[in-house]
Amino acid sequence: MLEGRWKLDIMFQLFGGHVRRFSDLERAIPAVSQKMLSQQLRQMERDGIVRRIVHPQVPPRVDYELTDWGQSLCPALDALLGWVAARPEAQASETKEPG
Amino acid sequence: MLEGRWKLDIMFQLFGGHVRRFSDLERAIPAVSQKMLSQQLRQMERDGIVRRIVHPQVPPRVDYELTDWGQSLCPALDALLGWVAARPEAQASETKEPG
DNA sequence: CTGTATCCATCATGATACTG
DNA sequence: CAGTATCATGATGGATACAG
């Protein structure tokens, strides 16, 4: 229950202390729907991974950023990415190069 | 497409160079169905994470073990586990203690 | 024992419309 | 802009039966 295909995309947008508005994330992750973006952000907020900052103004503005704990996922994620990059098949065809 | 709730459970059974039979894994992961166990093992084999060893005998016997690449996931997974264990809420209530 | 095939229930997600 | 509500759909996984 409660999956999350988009959480990783969201985190990548937020890593490095970046602050992004809802519409920023929408544009940066074109394949995600408003519903999913909103839902995953709420879950991540509940899980203490992202912080939601509402600016009381009109039109409304909401910023999202990683919490310290969320930021601290970076090394583990890098380790994972390194593992993926080190897979045996990577020797032969990691990128599709012309020719 | 092609999710995997059980791959982690399978890997934990196989880490440390352990060799397990299909029925071993079934018993070790009670909540998994034959269908899922078989399917996830096939995917992991295709992905180069596990090696499938068929013993030509009757009754049939099939062993599974991690490939070197599969084993090499261990450090990254530990990093992830460490991150989970380090979450802020862990301070207050990591386990449900009576009273 | 070690699977595969089939049917079925559930859930995650997308599309769309609507709101403040 | 930043969402929420609702409906429709396909993926995902469980149960069961069957097979070598």
Residue A2 maps to a domain = no
Determine the structural domain holding residue A34 and report its residue range.
Answer: 7-88
Residue B79 maps to a domain = yes
pLDDT at A44 over 90: yes
Residue B78 maps to a domain = yes
Q: Kindly write down the DSSP assignment for every residue of B17-45, as one continuous string.
A: T--EEHHHHHHHSTT--HHHHHHHHHHHH
3-state DSSP assignment of residue B61: strand
Instruction: Give the residue from chain B lying closest to A71, CA to CA.
Output: B83
Cα B79 to the chain's mean position, in Å?
17
Distance separating alpha carbons of residues B75 and A77, to the nearest angstrom: 11
Q: How confident is the model at residue B5 (pLDDT cuts 50, 70, 90)?
A: confident
Of residues B76, B80, B89, nearest to A48 (C-beta): B89
pLDDT tens per residue across span A8-42: 999 999 999 999 999 999 999 999 999 999 999 99
Residue B1 maps to a domain = no
**A75: closest CA of chain B, how far (Å):** 8
pLDDT value of position A92:
47
Q: How confident is the model at residue B97 (pLDDT cuts 50, 70, 90)?
A: very low
Residues of A in contact with B75 (CB under 8 A): 79
pLDDT tens per residue across span B47-58: 999 999 999 999
Residue B22 maps to a domain = yes
pLDDT tens per residue across span B15-72: 999 999 999 999 999 999 999 999 999 999 999 999 999 999 999 999 999 999 999 9
Distance separating alpha carbons of residues B81 and B76, to the nearest angstrom: 9
Verify whether the Cβ–Cβ distance A76 to B80 is below 8 Å: yes
Residue A97 maps to a domain = no
Residues of B in contact with A76 (CB under 8 A): 76, 79-80, 82-83
The residue lying closest to nucleotide D10, measuring its CA against C1', is: B1
Q: How many domains does chain A have?
A: 1
Instruction: Give the residue from chain A lying closest to B5, CA to CA.
Output: A3
CATH number at residue B83: 1.10.10.10
pLDDT value of position B79:
95
